[in-house]
Amino acid sequence: MAEVQTQTTKSKVKEDQQEAPLYGDILESILSHVPLLHLVPACHVSKSWSHAVSSSLRHFHRNIKPWLIVLTQTTRYPYVTSARAYDPASHVWIDIHPQPSDIPSIPILRSSHSTLIYMLSPSKFAFSTDPLHHTWHNAAAPLVWRTDPIVALVGHRIIVAGGTCDYEDDPLAVEMYDVTTRTWDTCNSMPAILKDSAASTWLSVAVDDSKMYVTEKISGVTYSFDPNPKAWFGPYDLRPDGSVFSSVIGFGNGRLILVGAVGNAENLMGVKVWEVKGASLERKEMIGEMPAEMAEKLKGESGWVTSIGMSCMGNSVCLHNPAEPAEMILCELEGVGCRWRSVHNDVVNDGSRMQRLVVTCSNVGLPDLLKAVQVGALRIV
């Protein structure tokens, strides 16, 4: 009889242990280690779990890394846009839907830097600044017809410079769109030295809280633009040495980062990273060099690298070869050094090779994911 009672007691204890719910500090501590993407379904378990998710985000420090957002657009009408996002915490690619049906079909999808993507035609201008690029805004087109301008968001102003059609009077024309008043304004033209390279093909763009920086990829000649006085400043020489044949710039946590391709387009010998300092951008401090095996991946099947595509957000720098975008090289800035890894670009396949491709980085938070799921822009299985 005692043996039966003992077995019954053990079974009861085991049953109670199996049914014991997670709650309080224990649940919050567990959730603090769960990737952000997987917290979305956790929010819908119950009200207590939703509260625990919010509490874990407030009370536990998380090193949330920026997501990669890769968009493609077909080159024929109706110019369908699709996108995938890569979460570095969970190491998965997911489908997102960046273009609502009320955005008109525009044949040019572009991005000059990480926080802004846009579509431009002679009569229409649409842009998106939210992390997952689901929300788009319509605006009148710039006064000057442009095919390959540099476009950057500085504060509440979108700067559109250069890239004009051949028949326009001023190839260096600059216009500025105020997103609060929804009006365009003209600005001082780009410096004359940039006349033969005033297009996003030849220029790299970086922005901080108050200025836009423009670097000629081949020469390293750089200017800054301040939207308040509508004036240009420079030139500054950002080319570290003669071995760099192409360079791009971006901001990482307030640091101006310069990435240079060493050698030549037919023989890439290396990729180096510098931090640019000084009032006149005169100091270049090398902080890292891409491992040789990753530089080989950057070359792709052709072995050519004419320029490097770069997106920055926080401490993350994403590099790719625009002509061979099958591999993404990620550089995480760590004080005076870098940590490198590569990610296969899941978007690239036989069907997308002839489409336009745009790569950006975004700081994606839980509210962004919950909103995207709610409006149907993101589906998590």
170-to-118, 167, 316 alpha-carbon distances in Å:
22, 9, 37
Question: Residue 225: what pLDDT?
Answer: 97
Measured CA to CA, the distance from residue 54 to residue 43 in angstroms comes to 9
Per-residue b or e along 199-216, where b marks 16 or more CB atoms closer than 10 Å to that residue's CB:
bbebbbbbbeeebbbbbb
275-to-191, 219, 255 alpha-carbon distances in Å:
25, 18, 7
Measured CA to CA, the distance from residue 323 to residue 299 in angstroms comes to 9
Strand-pair partners of 177:
158, 184
The yes-or-no verdict on residue 320 having pLDDT over 90 is yes
Where is average pLDDT lowest: 224-233, 254-263, 355-364?
355-364
- Report residue 296's pLDDT band, with 50, 70 and 90 as the boundaries: very high
Question: Residue 178: what pLDDT?
Answer: 97
**Burial of 270 per CB tally in 10 Å (0-12, 13-18, 19+):** middle
As a whole-number percent, the residues of the chain with pLDDT over 70 amount to 90
Summarize the confidence of residues 109-118 as an average pLDDT: 84
Summarize the confidence of residues 210-214 as an average pLDDT: 96
Where is average pLDDT lowest: 74-78, 94-98, 236-240?
94-98
Summarize the confidence of residues 315-336 as an average pLDDT: 92
Sign of the torsion angle spanned by Cα atoms 214, 304, 283, 252? positive
Q: What is the pTM of this model?
A: 0.88
- Listed in sequence order, the DSSP H helices in 20-103 are 24-31, 36-42, 47-59
Question: Residue 16: what pLDDT?
Answer: 41
Question: Residue 7: what pLDDT?
Answer: 46
**Burial of 151 per CB tally in 10 Å (0-12, 13-18, 19+):** buried
DSSP character string of 85-121: EEETTTTEEEEE----TTSPP-S-EEEEETTEEEEE-
- Listed in sequence order, the DSSP H helices in the chain are 2-19, 24-31, 36-42, 47-59, 292-299, 366-374
Is pLDDT larger for residue 157 or for residue 26? 157
All residues at 6 or more sequence positions from 30 whose CB lies less than 8 Å from its CB, including other chains: 22
The yes-or-no verdict on residue 277 having pLDDT over 70 is yes
What average pLDDT is seen over the chain? Answer: 87
Asked whether 87 and 330 are in contact (CB, 8 A), the reply is: no
- Report residue 381's pLDDT band, with 50, 70 and 90 as the boundaries: low
Question: Residue 164: what pLDDT?
Answer: 93
- Report residue 230's pLDDT band, with 50, 70 and 90 as the boundaries: very high
Summarize the confidence of residues 175-192 as an average pLDDT: 96
Residue at 22: amino acid letter:
L
Asked whether 174 and 189 are in contact (CB, 8 A), the reply is: yes
Give the number of other CB atoms < 10 A from CB of residue 42. 18
Question: Residue 24: what pLDDT?
Answer: 67
Q: Which has the closest alpha carbon to 197: 153, 149, 138, 232?
A: 149
Summarize the confidence of residues 288-297 as an average pLDDT: 95
Measured CA to CA, the distance from residue 285 to residue 336 in angstroms comes to 9
- Report residue 337's pLDDT band, with 50, 70 and 90 as the boundaries: confident
Q: Which has the closest alpha carbon to 74: 372, 355, 367, 360?
A: 355
What are the structural domains of the chain? 24-58 (no CATH), 64-375 (2.120.10.80)
- Report residue 103's pLDDT band, with 50, 70 and 90 as the boundaries: low
